[in-house]
Structure 1
Amino acid sequence: MLTLLRFPVAHNRLHFLLLLVCGFFARQAAATHIVGGELDLQYQTGSTYRITLNLYFDALNGNPGALDQDLTVSIFEKATNRRLQNVVLLLSTNTFVAYTNPACTQLSLSTRSLVYSRVVELPANIYNSAGGYYAAVERCCRNNGINNIVLPGNAGQTFYLEFPAVVRNGQPFVNSTPRIFPPLSDYACRGDLFYYNFSGQDADKDSLVYELVTPFNGSSNPAEPKPAVAAPAPYSLVNWNAGLGTQNQIPGNPTLSIGRFTGRLEVQPTQIGLFVFGIKCSEYRKGEKIGEVRRDFQLKVLNCPSNTPPEMVVLLPNNPRAYQPGRDTLRLQPNADRCVRLRFTDPNPNSRLSLSLNPVNFAGPIPTFTSITQGTVRTPGSPDTLVSQLCFPACLDSKGKVFFVDVIVADDGCALPKRDTVRVAFTSVPVPNGAPRITTTASPLPLRASPGDLVTFDIAVTDPENDPITLTLAGRGFQATAVGAQLTQGLSGNQVQGRFSWRVPCPTSTQRLFEFELNATGSPCAERQKTTVVIPVQVEYNNRPPTLTSNLPAALNAEPIVIRRGLGGIFEARLEGLDADLDQLTLTAAGNNFDLAAAGMSFVPTNGPGRATGLFRWEPNCDQVALATPLEVTFQLREATCSPVGQQRTVRFEVVSADTLTFLPPNIFTPNADGTNDYFELRDLPPNFCNAEFADIRIYNRWGKQVYASTNRDFRWDGGAMPAGVYYYLIEYTDKRRYKGNVTIAR
């Protein structure tokens, strides 16, 4: 019997077995029970690995007292057999192995899958031997009913695997052992071919090679069925019965074999009984063997009820004659009948038949059953013969070669279905297929447009054979969606109809010609047929900058224009913008960090395509002086186009005092009462201006002593009793302006 692990946990069954274990004496742990199993080592992360033992337990004949709650795995260095660590593996799951075909269940077969597992550390500073490592678990004993080895009830099993160093050339060398699966619990029938896919997978995608090996016995025995730790290699082998060996493990014609690269097991047993066998799966990376896993299993051979294979007949197209394998070759031509009729039956009563295909030497489109693929014969209400039809695709092209396809009928017999296969040879010339056709309303070409224009045209796609069509849009040297082009489409009968639309954007480069590709693709028989139509769109765009004129004075160099005005007047300026391309123009005026209205300013624009005008007015007042900031106004002309070229003027406005005379105070007076120049007075003082008003005057002698002061703008100083000489004055205004000078008293 062949078995393999399945993982779901049957907690109720496990609990029941554990209770049974507690009721048995320790000596019963040596009872025969082992069906087979293997070790498994899988990389986790860093230096962490999970090591697992899958042990298969005879649920009918095995003694429950031999069901262990833990087993110990020992890890050794291959080059020296030095023991590195012992790891106790705990029982994690206990499940039954199911039959491949439950209808073929035999009460004499029942196997449990026991899984023992633990996370282990394999640090790089320890596991770095170039020769690699091996792990082993020893346990006794095998099933006493095994028929191909000597004293099977006394034979133990050594579960064994090899793995490489975890570091090479100073770099991590990550590897997981191959996992051999899927599970198998079926039996074989004497005289019938037994086959099964026994291949595995490798997480590292290493190459796997399979071969038969003699199972390990090891050092466990009925006296010591469960050694505390495994002994180091070498391990003794089981002893084959006379006439049997590694390459002849099960009596058969042919005997047991396994595909070196496929992992397919085959045997046609000639004796009934229970037979143990061993396989080794080696893994190779870049041509170098880096590890191996050994697995022992058992195959039970039974006398099965006679099962006559089903029969298949293939009838030629438009011909009642049956197809003769090896003599006939179907010649499939365009527009001819490409179907063959199938008649299949089974002489056994209540036989359920199913059809399948196996392409032998070709890939691609395969024939299909256009009628039934399964049914029951020779049961009340059912026919004795079933009829179906197999049709070859119209597009299948054998390119002059002879293709082979196996037409298979299988029954539902045990242990494995019986089959009848008709290998059909054929050549196939596909039905001619035309490429899709594209028509558009885009005319004349190239289409011409300017930025902002909406370009649209309609598209129609047809296919001569009404094959499914895919219509796509692409740009040559650019992505159509990136520039905003859209393609909407839908089906109308056997046509694809679409509409192209593109709002021409402002150019972001010097590219002016945009070539859009319409691709219609049909896929008959998975061979793409493509038709391409190119629609060029010429974008016409050459922007001329607008001009801005005004009655403002011209600026010198890069300095702003300066306009000076006194209080009480009104200043007006007219501006005009013109654009030869008739783009929309906009004139604006903005104060730099101040509000125009707060400074007595206003701007009224009249904007439009190709021309914009504006009237600026300024009425100087004291509020502007109070702003205490440069009154700079920027006039800007903007155009609505792709690459606008702006025009602007910056004008500085200054409020000045109305007094334009030079302040020249007298510097001598003669207080001699002759009625001429008797006083020191300043009739031409700078006038009061907004918040700048006369504050006071103070007069000092040569030693800095104040001799006169007045807050009266119309003061008159007669010199008092001061002697003749030079005196100094200081005049201050409320805006902190100061005027200094000297005056001489002449007596």
Structure 2
Amino acid sequence: MRLTLFVFVWILLILLPGSLRATHQVGGQIEMRSIGTVPGAYRIIVTNYMEAGRRADQQGGGALGIFRKRDNGLMMSFTVSETGQRQPVIYANSVCADQRNLSFIVATFEATIQLDPATYSDPEGYYISYQTRNRNGSITNLVNPIQTGYTFYMEFPALVQGGRLFVNSSPRFPAINGEYICINEPFTFPFGGTDADGDELRYSMITPLNQKNGNGQGQGNIVAPAPYPDVTWAAGYSADNAIKASQPLRVNAQTGQLSVTATQLGLFVFAVRVEEFRNGVKIGEVRRDFQFLVVDCPPARTPEPTVQIITRPGQQSTTICRSDSAVLEASFDPNWNYQWRRDGVNLSGATSATLAARATGLYTVVASTKNICSKVGNSEVLAVSVVGSDARLATAGHLCATTGSVSLSAESSETEVTYQWFRNGLPLAGQTVDSLRTSQPGRYWVVMTHQTLGCLSRTDTADVSRSAAVSAVVTSESGFNRLCPQATLSLRGSGGLTYSWQFNGQPVAGVTSAQYSISAVGSYVVTAEDIYGCQGVSAPVSITPVPPITVLLDSLPAVCGPNAPAYSLQGKPAGGIYEGTGVAEDEFSPLRAGIGNHTVTYTVKPAPECAGVVATRTAVVSPIPTIDLVDSLITYKGNTFALTPGLTGSPNQFQWASGQYLDNANAASPTVQSIQNDITYTIYVANSSGCEARDTIHITVYARVWVPEAFTPNGDGMNDTWDLPGIEAFPDAVVTVFNRWGEVIFRSDKGYKEPFDGTLNGNVLPPGLYAYTVYTVPEKPVLRGSLVIAR
């Protein structure tokens, strides 16, 4: 036999001085328990194990957050506060606990919350987290443990599944004994829980979670979504190797029992994940985070206590009535300490050789040598059964406002009992079996009579009540029970969780949501079903049609230029809205609109909730055309050329007057063919809106160039250059002057724009006779002759 002491706190090894201790949190878990029959009502319980002392006394609950798993969205946050009296962690050997300064407490923090099942319906489920600081500085298997915090974590399923309320509570965990591990000694420890819903629990080792966004010291309780960081293992440690051991720390996947044979002294953190399965499908999980201390246990003779039931000598089990007790007795030795346990849990104050057992359970006693820290001895197991102690009522079904039934059954491990059902304090005649089906509300319980002992025991009570009638209502999201032309209308049902629709008395297939988009007139009814499966049928809602309308907008006149006067718009039927650039109320202003084509609409609603029917016209504000045409032009007789005025304002009608010599008097750019005489042309233009403009050009026609035979470049301002009248009719003309030796002394550019002035390179030419040539156009002969410069 051996003495073990389980530790959930920061504690130094036995050789370290006690003055270095500090109060820290050790571990614990979150539990979630449904309350009564109220959908979405839960009690959240945070169990915290801490070192006893001033710092533990200051610990006062904190904030938790509920998050949606799918996207880590925060659903709500709330605060837990302490309930009940803090309980010490009880050790089998108080001598060993005192020698190692082991003084630990368990504190329970709770909150009652109300969740809306319809809101908590995401199929991926939800999680709750509680984050705080800090761990022990002497932890062996973590890096920087004093800077490492805690995240307590649990998951729970959607509260509505398949359109029905999904009732579930998380696993429950019993109180923990104070134990430590003796090095090189096999060690086991019960770490499992129970599930009130009968769900399967599966256990596995997992890495503990650190606090998010915290350093384990400076930042306390916070609310933050996942993901949460893992703690950082020291070299050589992991979730599956949390303690150096010849037999590693393991958890039984079915029972939750821990086992290890440690080979290293120290304080070791570990965590167990408890997954909850219903019908083979995972519905939730809880993480439990704790610590073990491994010490070197001194060798000593191990006590070997024997136990008996005083009234049943030689027997290891007994059955008693609730008002009775079974006296258990251990072999007495004045040099021993005693600690009684029920179902493996140390009982507070049960430290004598005898125990009056009044509760159902498996009882053992742990004996250790007084004043010596030695291994403990464990007795055999004595079983005490209290008649009806585990009796409870299980219910199934529900009473709706006018229908429904509930099945009640008495669940107990007792087999030799008879039953009598009661409702509201009165026995129900003939109801003497372990189950009952009823359609009547009331408070029910069962009195069981043990056939051998004659004990009377009563189950807990079950309050069966009718839920309020489901009030199904159909409303139109538009606020009107009528259907607009060529449109759909959204109807919404209320009063339930799931819905079914009828149209003109016939079921509508495939529509099970609260919203139904319709496109036909007629009678609509919705049946609403609540979380209990109770139904309510709405009054029929008759949807009538809104008559269609035809919307007209009179044609709009085109106007010339933005300065044109505003004009009124005319649409039918009356009461609509005019819109568009340049529109104000029922008037179109060219000045506000500007040049261009502008869309003008006239919208009339068949009914206030309907979309408008729109008629559209185009308002044209045309630019006034402009003509860029020279006033006059000089040309030579017989010339052919084009008239190319610059035009703006998109003209599309053209008329030249007169049309003499023109190839097309209705073209924008006609060709003047073989002109013979001076002439004046007037062009008239108009665009598609009828906006007009006109311009005139006079053409002078020279038959030839007149060449003077002399000029006097003497600077008197008269006849100082050799001017050639009519040369402007020949824009390509080139004039050349030669001296008497045939050398070129002057050659003009095309058009003879700079007349000859009697100089060469700035030097005055001497008076005399000079020759010249004048080239005008290719089809005319070159003019040749003599020129006299006189001074």
TM-score range, shorter chain: 0.3 to 0.5
TM, length-normalised to structure 1: 0.39
Give the TM-score, by structure 2 length.
Answer: 0.37
